[in-house]
């Protein structure tokens, strides 16, 4: 039996979700909280398998609650319930360890499936939300490239290789991805080290991380 805790300040909606979930013989709703703080207090008494959190709640919203729940109870799967598919919220909650997002217009069978699949370790993302995450990730990557290029006066190819180094690609992987020789990759990386003022790969990665953060 999968135990689910619901946190939503709209009690009528929360009760509706409870009713839907309990049509499944595999799911039991252990409680309904009005916000993230109450959800955490309820977890001290009984730990659920899945926490279904509204993103917008008073006192402690779903994103902050996700962070706290995953910090205290990493085994609990967290699903965020929202009508507001904002990429910043999405990325924050996923980064904090949420197992996915559900839009509030989800149908009953899909809601049940999402809870069951989250318990199996799957990432639950509606298509439009997955697209937003991809777009946001591309923007983050593009922003990093621009910062690195400007900070160290890197060429386009050097920037490309520097990004791959920062993502822990080894020389062979870089050579394969860019369809160039490993010797050529080594030459580029040596030039990147000089421009960064780095003595080795670990130092280069650290310098690039600080540059991207603006340190």
The 3-class SS string of the chain reads CEEEEEECCCHHHHHHHHHHHCCCCCEEEEEEECCHHHHHHHHHHCCCCEEEEECCCCCCCHHHHHHHHHHHCCCCEEEEEECCCCHHHHHHHHHCCCCEEEECCCCHHHHHHHHHHHHCCCCECCHHHHHHHHHHHHHHHHHHHHHHHHHHCCCHHHHHHHHHHHCCCCHHHHHHHHCCCHHHHHHHHHHHHHHHCCCCHHHHHHHHHHHHHCC
Handedness of CA 95, 85, 166, 143 (dihedral sign): negative
Q: Check whether 214 has a pLDDT greater than 70.
A: no
Residue ranges of domains in the chain: 2-125, 135-213
Q: What is the pTM of this model?
A: 0.64
What per-residue confidence (pLDDT) applies to 177? 83
Selected from 3.30.70.20, 3.40.605.10, 3.40.50.2300, 3.40.50.1100, the CATH number assigned to the domain covering 2-125 reads 3.40.50.2300
The closest of 169, 179, 173, 172 to 201, measured between CA atoms, is: 169
What per-residue confidence (pLDDT) applies to 68? 96
Q: What is the mean pLDDT of residues 80-94?
A: 74
Q: What angle separates helix 127-152 from helix 201-213, to the nearest 10 degrees?
A: 110
Q: Check whether 182 has a pLDDT greater than 80.
A: yes
What's the token pair of residue 66? 């996700």
Residues 45-65 pLDDT 10s? 999 999 999 998 999 999 999
**What value does the mean pLDDT of the chain take?**
90
What per-residue confidence (pLDDT) applies to 73? 97
What per-residue confidence (pLDDT) applies to 166? 87
pLDDT-derived band at 162, boundaries 50, 70, 90: very high
Residues 152-161 pLDDT 10s? 999 999 999 9
Return the higher-pLDDT residue of 181 and 132.
181
CATH superfamily label, 135-213: Response regulator (3.40.50.2300)
Dist. CA 144–CA 122, nearest whole Å? 29
Q: What is the mean pLDDT of residues 115-133?
A: 82
What per-residue confidence (pLDDT) applies to 90? 74
What per-residue confidence (pLDDT) applies to 131? 72
What per-residue confidence (pLDDT) applies to 125? 80
* Same topology between domain 2-125 and domain 135-213: yes
Dist. CA 137–CA 190, nearest whole Å? 28
């Amino acid at each position: 039996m999968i135990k689910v805790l619901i946190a939503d300040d709209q009690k009528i909606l929360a009760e509706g979700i409870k009713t839907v979930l309990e049509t499944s013989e595999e799911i039991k709703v252990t409680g309904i909280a009005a916000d993230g703080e109450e959800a955490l207090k309820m977890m001290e008494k009984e730990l659920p398998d899945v926490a279904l959190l509204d993103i917008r709640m008073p006192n402690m919203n779903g994103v902050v609650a996700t962070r706290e729940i995953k910090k205290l109870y990493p085994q609990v799967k967290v699903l965020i319930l929202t009508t507001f598919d904002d990429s910043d919220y999405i990325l924050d909650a996923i980064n904090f360890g949420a197992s996915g997002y559900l839009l509030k217009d989800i149908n009953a069978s899909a809601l049940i499936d999402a809870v069951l699949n989250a318990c199996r370790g799957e990432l639950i993302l509606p298509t439009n939300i997955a697209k937003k995450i991809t777009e946001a990730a591309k923007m983050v990557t593009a922003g990093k490239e621009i910062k690195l290029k400007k900070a160290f006066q890197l060429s386009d190819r050097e920037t490309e290789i520097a990004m791959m180094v920062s993502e822990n690609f080894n020389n062979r992987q870089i050579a394969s991805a860019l369809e160039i020789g490993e010797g050529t990759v080594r030459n580029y990386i040596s030039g990147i080290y000089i421009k960064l003022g780095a003595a080795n790969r670990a130092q280069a990665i650290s310098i690039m991380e600080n540059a991207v953060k603006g340190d």
